[in-house]
Amino acid sequence: MPDDRVTIDIAELVALYHEAVYRYAYRLCGGPHDAEDLTQQVFLIAQQKLAQLREPDAARSWLFTILKHGFLKSLRRERPALMGSLELSVENIPANVPEADQIDRERLRQALGELPPKHRLMLVMFYYEDCSYRDIAERLELPIGTVMSRLARAKQRLRARLFGTEPPARHVSKRVTAK
Protein backbone atom coordinates (compact mmCIF):
# COMPACT_ATOMS: atom_id res chain seq x y z
CA MET A 1 0.00 0.00 0.00
CA PRO A 2 1.52 3.34 -0.98
CA ASP A 3 2.42 5.75 1.76
CA ASP A 4 0.29 8.83 1.13
CA ARG A 5 1.87 10.86 3.87
CA VAL A 6 2.88 14.34 2.83
CA THR A 7 6.47 14.95 3.70
CA ILE A 8 7.69 18.16 5.22
CA ASP A 9 11.26 19.24 5.51
CA ILE A 10 12.71 20.25 8.88
CA ALA A 11 14.09 23.43 7.35
CA GLU A 12 10.59 24.30 6.21
CA LEU A 13 9.28 23.69 9.71
CA VAL A 14 11.93 26.00 11.11
CA ALA A 15 11.15 28.69 8.56
CA LEU A 16 7.42 28.50 9.19
CA TYR A 17 7.25 28.03 12.93
CA HIS A 18 10.44 29.11 14.68
CA GLU A 19 8.92 32.44 15.63
CA ALA A 20 5.74 30.92 17.03
CA VAL A 21 7.70 28.32 19.00
CA TYR A 22 10.08 30.97 20.32
CA ARG A 23 7.22 33.19 21.49
CA TYR A 24 5.58 30.26 23.24
CA ALA A 25 8.86 29.31 24.89
CA TYR A 26 9.49 32.91 25.91
CA ARG A 27 6.17 33.15 27.68
CA LEU A 28 6.85 29.89 29.50
CA CYS A 29 10.49 30.55 30.37
CA GLY A 30 10.30 34.30 30.86
CA GLY A 31 13.62 35.16 29.22
CA PRO A 32 15.25 35.21 25.80
CA HIS A 33 18.10 32.83 26.50
CA ASP A 34 16.04 30.04 28.02
CA ALA A 35 13.46 30.60 25.32
CA GLU A 36 16.02 30.24 22.54
CA ASP A 37 17.51 27.18 24.16
CA LEU A 38 14.10 25.59 24.52
CA THR A 39 13.22 26.52 20.93
CA GLN A 40 16.38 24.88 19.63
CA GLN A 41 15.66 21.77 21.67
CA VAL A 42 12.14 21.61 20.27
CA PHE A 43 13.45 21.56 16.72
CA LEU A 44 16.14 19.04 17.58
CA ILE A 45 13.47 16.71 18.91
CA ALA A 46 11.32 17.51 15.89
CA GLN A 47 14.18 16.58 13.59
CA GLN A 48 14.56 13.25 15.32
CA LYS A 49 10.85 12.48 15.28
CA LEU A 50 9.85 14.06 12.02
CA ALA A 51 8.47 10.78 10.73
CA GLN A 52 5.79 10.99 13.41
CA LEU A 53 4.33 14.09 11.83
CA ARG A 54 1.64 12.76 9.53
CA GLU A 55 -0.25 15.95 8.79
CA PRO A 56 1.81 19.01 7.87
CA ASP A 57 -1.17 21.15 8.83
CA ALA A 58 -0.78 19.89 12.37
CA ALA A 59 2.90 20.85 12.53
CA ARG A 60 2.41 23.94 14.68
CA SER A 61 0.38 22.06 17.24
CA TRP A 62 2.86 19.16 17.12
CA LEU A 63 5.78 21.47 17.83
CA PHE A 64 3.87 23.08 20.68
CA THR A 65 3.22 19.61 22.09
CA ILE A 66 6.94 18.83 22.03
CA LEU A 67 7.59 22.11 23.76
CA LYS A 68 4.99 21.52 26.48
CA HIS A 69 6.18 17.97 26.99
CA GLY A 70 9.72 19.14 27.65
CA PHE A 71 8.57 21.98 29.84
CA LEU A 72 6.35 19.73 31.94
CA LYS A 73 9.08 17.17 32.38
CA SER A 74 11.25 19.84 33.87
CA LEU A 75 8.58 20.43 36.52
CA ARG A 76 8.55 16.97 37.99
CA ARG A 77 9.87 18.19 41.29
CA GLU A 78 7.59 21.18 41.47
CA ARG A 79 5.74 21.41 44.75
CA PRO A 80 1.99 21.65 44.49
CA ALA A 81 1.01 25.28 44.33
CA LEU A 82 -1.18 26.52 47.12
CA MET A 83 -3.88 28.65 45.59
CA GLY A 84 -6.62 29.89 47.87
CA SER A 85 -10.30 29.75 47.25
CA LEU A 86 -11.64 31.86 44.44
CA GLU A 87 -14.18 34.55 45.07
CA LEU A 88 -16.19 35.93 42.22
CA SER A 89 -16.32 39.67 42.02
CA VAL A 90 -17.04 41.98 39.14
CA GLU A 91 -14.52 44.30 40.78
CA ASN A 92 -11.84 41.79 39.96
CA ILE A 93 -12.28 42.63 36.29
CA PRO A 94 -10.93 46.11 35.51
CA ALA A 95 -13.72 48.56 34.72
CA ASN A 96 -11.64 50.10 31.94
CA VAL A 97 -10.38 47.35 29.73
CA PRO A 98 -6.96 48.25 28.28
CA GLU A 99 -5.99 47.69 24.68
CA ALA A 100 -3.35 45.05 24.02
CA ASP A 101 -0.68 47.68 23.41
CA GLN A 102 -1.45 49.35 26.73
CA ILE A 103 -0.46 46.26 28.68
CA ASP A 104 3.07 46.61 29.98
CA ARG A 105 5.09 43.78 28.44
CA GLU A 106 7.75 43.71 31.13
CA ARG A 107 5.12 43.62 33.83
CA LEU A 108 3.39 40.79 32.00
CA ARG A 109 6.66 38.86 31.87
CA GLN A 110 7.25 39.38 35.56
CA ALA A 111 3.67 38.56 36.48
CA LEU A 112 3.85 35.28 34.57
CA GLY A 113 7.16 34.48 36.20
CA GLU A 114 5.62 34.81 39.64
CA LEU A 115 2.98 32.19 38.91
CA PRO A 116 3.53 28.46 39.46
CA PRO A 117 4.82 26.95 36.18
CA LYS A 118 1.79 24.72 35.66
CA HIS A 119 -0.53 27.68 36.02
CA ARG A 120 1.70 29.65 33.67
CA LEU A 121 1.45 26.86 31.14
CA MET A 122 -2.34 26.95 31.30
CA LEU A 123 -2.36 30.69 30.76
CA VAL A 124 -0.04 30.42 27.77
CA MET A 125 -2.21 27.67 26.32
CA PHE A 126 -5.31 29.80 26.87
CA TYR A 127 -4.01 33.16 25.72
CA TYR A 128 -1.25 32.32 23.25
CA GLU A 129 -2.23 28.95 21.85
CA ASP A 130 -5.88 29.95 21.97
CA CYS A 131 -6.96 26.69 23.56
CA SER A 132 -10.36 26.32 25.17
CA TYR A 133 -10.59 24.83 28.64
CA ARG A 134 -11.64 21.57 26.99
CA ASP A 135 -8.60 21.63 24.69
CA ILE A 136 -6.36 22.19 27.69
CA ALA A 137 -7.94 19.33 29.60
CA GLU A 138 -7.52 17.01 26.64
CA ARG A 139 -3.94 17.96 25.86
CA LEU A 140 -2.74 17.90 29.43
CA GLU A 141 -4.86 14.83 30.22
CA LEU A 142 -6.48 16.50 33.19
CA PRO A 143 -10.10 16.43 34.38
CA ILE A 144 -12.21 19.35 33.15
CA GLY A 145 -12.90 20.44 36.73
CA THR A 146 -9.20 20.63 37.51
CA VAL A 147 -8.52 22.74 34.46
CA MET A 148 -11.42 25.10 35.17
CA SER A 149 -10.27 25.56 38.73
CA ARG A 150 -6.59 26.09 37.91
CA LEU A 151 -7.20 28.27 34.88
CA ALA A 152 -9.68 30.51 36.70
CA ARG A 153 -7.28 31.02 39.60
CA ALA A 154 -4.34 31.60 37.30
CA LYS A 155 -6.27 34.22 35.34
CA GLN A 156 -7.30 36.05 38.47
CA ARG A 157 -3.80 36.04 39.84
CA LEU A 158 -2.36 37.29 36.60
CA ARG A 159 -4.84 40.18 36.60
CA ALA A 160 -4.04 40.90 40.22
CA ARG A 161 -0.37 41.27 39.39
CA LEU A 162 -0.94 43.20 36.20
CA PHE A 163 -3.72 45.54 37.21
CA GLY A 164 -3.61 45.44 40.99
CA THR A 165 -7.00 43.81 41.18
CA GLU A 166 -6.30 41.43 44.04
CA PRO A 167 -8.94 38.77 44.45
CA PRO A 168 -11.01 40.14 47.33
CA ALA A 169 -11.25 38.50 50.69
CA ARG A 170 -14.54 36.81 51.34
CA HIS A 171 -15.74 39.15 54.03
CA VAL A 172 -15.17 42.38 52.13
CA SER A 173 -15.93 41.33 48.58
CA LYS A 174 -18.79 42.72 46.67
CA ARG A 175 -19.81 39.38 45.41
CA VAL A 176 -21.96 38.49 42.51
CA THR A 177 -23.72 35.70 44.21
CA ALA A 178 -25.28 32.70 42.63
CA LYS A 179 -28.97 32.58 43.27
Q: Which of residues 99-158 bind other proteins (CB under 8 A)?
A: 99-103, 105, 108, 123-124, 126-128, 130, 132-134, 144-145, 147-149, 151-152, 155-156, 158
Nearer to other proteins, 6 or 75 (CB): 75
Residues in region 19-38 near other proteins by CB under 8 A: 19, 22-23, 26-27, 32-34, 36-38
- Eight-state DSSP code of residue 175: B
Q: Which is nearer to other proteins, 56 or 87 (CB)?
A: 87
- Exposed/middle/buried for 147, CB within 10 Å: 0-12, 13-18, 19+? buried
Q: Out of 53, 63, 64, 71, which residue is the one contacting other proteins (CB under 8 A)?
A: 71
Rounded to an integer, what distance in angstroms lies between the CA atom of residue 84 and that of residue 37?
Answer: 34
Q: How far apart are CA 89 and CA 173, in angstroms?
A: 7
Residue 110's H or E segment, with its range, is helix 105-113
| φ and ψ of 6, to 5 deg | -85, 125
Using rule CB under 8 A, residue 41 touches other proteins: yes
Q: Which position among 11, 55, 78, 84 is part of the footprint of other proteins (CB under 8 A)?
A: 11
